[in-house]
Structure 1
């Protein structure tokens, strides 16, 4: 039976069948198995009729289109970025080619079928248009940050006793899923050069399949005393840990509009990010430093530059804070989303009113 709960005043109905959604849940990644099984859980629960069916990624985008057509509702599909540019770096050549072909087929097809396709990174929106998707059906709405929960006035977290963070040393911090595409290995390699010249420490928040190999890498490079893995921290408890940071780093190989980066900006942290995917779309040069993906030397140089220049750190953090306040609060993002919903509903109603009456014979 569907499970109902109220979160922040919104009714959430969670559906499952034979616990397949529960069994395929993975907090660090959206597995292919879960995407394949999700339509089964939806169809066997036969959800009630809604005005808008908003599917995220591919399988839920397909099911949203099916349900919208069945009930006469609006079909919305969101694509949260893509690994298309780097699939060959994440898996074997055959699998990489299969994933790339699947994206080239599914992304533009879903754009054609849906009333609108939303993207959280314009880099992939433009890619999908180049594959033949109707330009008028593509919109980019970047992610946002909770600027009330994440702000420069949050006090530092009390670090657990088993984590030996030195409060007297600068903290470089990243909060990422520990998977290959997020480039944490390049950040750890950069720390080898940084620690030779400056005393500092890297704090890594998150879990994922790469954790064991990343911890081994830190030992192999003899930086294990300067790299602290804190594991998964619940999102509502993250702000005090982010408050520890002197510098926030997003070393991804590809990324849409990183929520972690926006939250760090909302807390007035200077940003070092890779010039990858949608990151340059939300981080102006006045609020951070860009390096190329997989460039451990560039990462090290950028970190050293900010460690040695407190005034620049403060200036970048100030610019980052104002940029998020002005453009990327969740309220602003919600208003963009609501505007698209209302436009689509108005168009759907107008189309229905234009249909001619068919007399009964």
Structure 2
């Protein structure tokens, strides 16, 4: 008996089994660490997972022993780590080869977030295996000098050595990105000859948005008095120059009621507390410490102005989140920050405390100006939608895989 022929039309309609794109992200710092790279990497990983990718992260263990778990839809492989003696809140991975883990994951692409211990090992393993490599730079030597206790007279030479080491590792990548055009130009200025594509870190505009409610409700959530509030979010470390913000506060208080709220952890907190007490503003400088990511939108909603005195920002996710919330900005005229201040606030010369205080006073005492600049902040932030950034990274993964 003749066998019936298959229904060709039906066969053509049957779906082809295709597994999701498998992305391996390597990073030396990841949540619960609180810094720009950790925040970006966590949101990159979870964002890619929400878009249907299978995402793995290799990072340092936050407790010490190696472990693996699924967190927020991401498979996180934590490597054995030890405390970083020069930093109170971070840990460093014990150097290791990652060939076996790389083979077990079998990623379509590796996306490294740095060239230190984990990134270096992952790039080496990917090269040996023939896995395409995308690398994103968040590094500036200024971010390391305070932790390495490097004297000022040696920092220029140390910076040149650090950049040469960076170039040697990132030169092995197939595609290189960094958050801003200015950051890409910085790499070229340091002699890095490869093409570097600017891709914004991006922000979740659905989470960070203006609020119609009075700011008192948000301040109450963090036990803040209902006073005009200048906010900073980030590490309380040397390169952030937060002493300038504290020193500016007495001049602001000569003109209007105000307080400064500092969100984050870092080794400069004791010194900042002593400074605030010594100049008579101890009761007006509030240290909120670590705030979980899910509560960050409320933090920004409590602010009348956002201050970023750092001189080592390649983009500044915290500044973008403040802008998305509709908060005007006062920032140091340094690195990438001028790109974020265009009709939505003021720039000040780093170190000029009087100028910083004058700009903050102007914002806090002019309701109409503050509202207008807040709207401009939101408009600028709309150009940094993280879904656009995620889509571009997916395109890059497919390009290097081909």
* TM superposition score normalised by structure 1: 0.83
Asked if the contact 2:171/2:194 (under 8 Å) is kept, the reply is: no
Deviations 1:190-231 (A, max 9, x none): 002111221111111111111011000000110112111111
Structure 2: how far apart are the matches of 1:235 and 1:294?
31
User: Which residue number in structure 2 is paired with residue 353 of structure 1?
Assistant: none
User: Could you say what secondary structure the match of 1:331 adopts?
Assistant: helix
8 Å Cα contact 2:330/2:348 also seen in 1: yes
CA 221–270 in structure 1, closer or farther in 2 if over 3 Å, else same? same
**Which has the higher mean CA deviation after the structures are superposed, 95-104 or 83-92?**
83-92
Deviates more, 1:187-196 or 1:58-67: 58-67
Is the CA contact 2:276–2:285 (under 8 Å) kept in the aligned structure 1? yes
In the other structure, the counterpart of 2:207 is 149
Distance 1:2-1:228 versus aligned 2 partners, 3 A rule: closer
Aligned to 2:193: 134
Unaligned runs of 5+ in 1: 347-361
Change (3 A) 1:72 1:41: closer
Residue-pair matches, total? 331
Q: Pick from 125, 144, 158: which aligns with 1:99?
A: 158
Structure 1 pair 314/229, CA: closer, same or farther in 2 (3 Å)? same
Aligned to 2:386: 330
Indicate which of 301, 312, 327 corresponds to 1:269: 327
Where 2:398 maps in the other structure, the secondary structure is: helix
CA contact (8 A) 1:111 1:134 kept: no
3-state SS, counterpart of residue 272 of structure 1: strand
Query: 2:184·2:197 contact (CA, 8 Å) conserved in 1?
Result: yes
Give the C-alpha shift of residue 252 in structure 1. Answer: 0.7
Are 1:3 and 2:64 an aligned pair?
A: no
8 Å Cα contact 1:173/1:242 also seen in 2: yes
Give the aligned partner of residue 188 of structure 1.
246
**Residue aligning to 2:363:** 306
Cα displacement string for residues 150-202 of structure 1 (whole angstroms, at most 9, x for unaligned residues): 111275336368x4x331x2111111210011111100000021112211111
Q: Which residue of 2 aligns with 1:219?
A: 277
With over 3 angstroms needed to count, the CA separation of the structure-2 counterparts of 1:102 and 1:43, relative to structure 1, is: farther
Secondary structure of the corresponding residue to residue 159 of structure 1: helix
Residues 319 and 27 of structure 1, relative CA distance in 2, 3 Å threshold: farther
Assess if the C-alpha contact under 8 Å between 1:107 and 1:128 holds in 2: no
1:255 Cα deviation (Å)? 0.8
Gaps spanning 5+ residues in structure 2: where?
1-65
Counterpart Cα distance in 1 of 2:270 and 2:284 = 17
In structure 2, relative to structure 1, the CA distance for the partners of 1:225 and 1:13 (3 Å cut) is closer
Displacement of 1:29 in angstroms is 6.1
Q: 1:39 to 1:94 in 2, by over 3 A?
A: farther
Change (3 A) 1:236 1:122: same
Shift of the 300–207 alpha-carbon distance from structure 1 to 2, 3 Å rule, reads: same
Q: 1:131 to 1:27 in 2, by over 3 A?
A: closer
Higher helix share: 1
